[in-house]
Structure 1
């Protein structure tokens, strides 16, 4: 038996808090692709937990310099009275000298507060990793768009530049050019010597050797986007190359760029730690997560807490960024199913 439409409509009720329209039929509001992606992301509890950790990490990096200037954190003051000279400078007390005044103990050999150095070190590590990521993504995105859109000889030249960059032994180049490059920046370019010059060197080198991956990803996306109707329409209307690159194509790349950003950040955080072990980058007493971990290696047995704390913090940050990147990739691609 066929039920009249009016009878069906009369049984449709709006949920609490929503009023039906005059016909008695509930209105269904459409959602944009961004809203759908956010909804999928919120359903992923692991990715949401990773997002909270990353947000806390960023907030800590922003607040730490203020806490240092106001005296709440003190990462440089020596507390020699808290060290046992007879034991080679190992902190007095249990678990690396943990107390009410020093929640994570003090550094062996110097007596500096570990918690203050870790919190302030997050600022330097984030600054280096974030800056290097922007440099790499800026170079890679621009060259990837030009390569994928232009094709032909330009695509071939950029492709060979990518191959040439990937062929360089980046670690050896970092070590070999460190002294010369820092001296050139401080002497010729008038960059302030010390922490600024060392950090700038690491940023530029990581960015220079990090762009080929993103360039290849962007090129692959552009090869598909350039064939779409809106790009052809912009061409027919006389749009310039710059408008085609940055007004028509670039806005359609934000999803893969966002995912790649969250995956490149932890890689550069780990790279900064590795370079600190090789004595390249910001030097103590200015703290970074890398040089704190490097200093703690010598005390891995005598003061395990001092060794474990920075290593555990780096691990949590790197894993959180990777999980966030995976969650964003799944949320932005509706065809992906875990």
Structure 2
């Protein structure tokens, strides 16, 4: 039915004169924008994000500061020690030149060692997390989509890996696998081979946890309409894995990575105490802490500094992971 001219005029918005501000527009927000808005409102998560960002900036800056001579983590300063090889003065030899004191027995600057150690610790944690999340994602997607015998075999493989005592296997296989890395794969001897061994083993024993998480998510996603439509259109299995399903897993994978990474930071510290990992004089937070244990009573500041930094980074990553989980899943509860 055609409306009369008078009725048509009542349905047409009056024109906006040039220079006149338009009326208020209602703009829709994407799920990502809504998640970021929720995340920014969480002050605790934002504080954790700031701490994590500072740690990463410090890790990136440390090699450049060492190269230009601003940080000296190798320099011995015996004149800063007393006859008992302990730092002169109070609080571990803290001064303007050495804000965190000096290392007992060597006189090396503690600030330079822990700052440069952050770089190695985070690099190892990020690399091990990438391996664990990468392998876990692939195996989890394959198990969740395929089902049947494939799902069962991957499930038994996960059970088999989780049944091994991880720490004991790390210690028992360290000599054999480090020799293989150095002799057969020609990895440079020393820090590179020791660090690579720790990264590979942590990543290998960490992927089953991610795979179980991903499999549970895939079991839900594979029943959705867009996956069924892709199957009907003849999509290959690999397209289903990596084009249809994988993009819908980024949220749980991001949360999983932020929670896994601090686990590897503390694991690196524990393994250094057990004699596996990068050895001094190259510093990591783990071997600096391991070397400070003998001075926990005579020089508490030296012992407290690396322990405090490890605690802060682990807590910050966990709080960041909780904040991301709450922001990406508003129906969940902390």
Q: For this structure pair, what is the TM-score category when the shorter chain's length is used for normalisation?
A: over 0.9
Aligned counterpart, 1:63:
61
CA drift at 1:134 = 0.3
In structure 2, how many angstroms separate the alpha carbons of the residues matched to 1:237 and 1:192?
Answer: 50
The one of 68, 88, 104 aligned to 1:92? 88
Q: Provide, for residues 144-189 of structure 1, a one-character-per-residue CA deviation record: whole Å limited to 9, x for no partner.
A: 0000000000000000000000000111110011111111110111
CA drift at 1:236 = 1.2
The one of 162, 169, 178 aligned to 1:166? 162
Aligned counterpart, 2:4:
none
In structure 2, how many angstroms separate the alpha carbons of the residues matched to 1:19 and 1:325?
Answer: 43
Aligned counterpart, 1:154:
150
Aligned counterpart, 2:244:
248
SS at match of 2:288: helix
In structure 2, how many angstroms separate the alpha carbons of the residues matched to 1:39 and 1:189?
Answer: 48
Aligned counterpart, 1:212:
208
The one of 254, 258, 278 aligned to 2:254? 258
TM-score norm. by structure 1 comes to: 0.92
Aligned counterpart, 2:100:
104
In structure 2, how many angstroms separate the alpha carbons of the residues matched to 1:47 and 1:178?
Answer: 38
Aligned counterpart, 1:36:
34
CA drift at 1:337 = 4.3
Aligned counterpart, 1:270:
266
In structure 2, how many angstroms separate the alpha carbons of the residues matched to 1:326 and 1:334?
Answer: 12
The one of 110, 114, 117 aligned to 1:118? 114
Q: Figure out how many residues of one structure are paired with residues of the other and give that number.
A: 318
CA drift at 1:19 = 3.6
SS at match of 2:139: helix
Q: Where do residues 190-205 of structure 1 align in structure 2 (5 Å cutoff)?
A: 190-205=186-201
SS at match of 1:315: helix
In structure 2, how many angstroms separate the alpha carbons of the residues matched to 1:327 and 1:137?
Answer: 19
SS at match of 1:138: helix
| Structure 1 unaligned blocks of 5 or more | 1-5, 11-17
Aligned counterpart, 1:54:
52
Question: Structure 1 stretches (4+) deviating beyond 4 angstroms?
Answer: none
Q: Does residue 135 of the first structure (1) align with residue 137 of the second (2)?
A: no
Q: Provide, for residues 285-318 of structure 1, a one-character-per-residue CA deviation record: whole Å limited to 9, x for no partner.
A: 1000000000000000100000001101100000
Q: Provide, for residues 210-259 of structure 1, a one-character-per-residue CA deviation record: whole Å limited to 9, x for no partner.
A: 01110000000000101111011111111111111001000000000000
CA drift at 1:110 = 0.8
| Structure 2 unaligned blocks of 5 or more | 1-9, 15-19
In structure 1, how many angstroms separate the alpha carbons of the residues matched to 2:128 and 2:237?
Answer: 27
CA drift at 1:55 = 0.3
In structure 1, how many angstroms separate the alpha carbons of the residues matched to 2:316 and 2:302?
Answer: 22
SS at match of 1:111: coil
Q: RMSD of aligned C-alpha atoms?
A: 1.4
Aligned counterpart, 1:82:
80
CA drift at 1:336 = 2.5
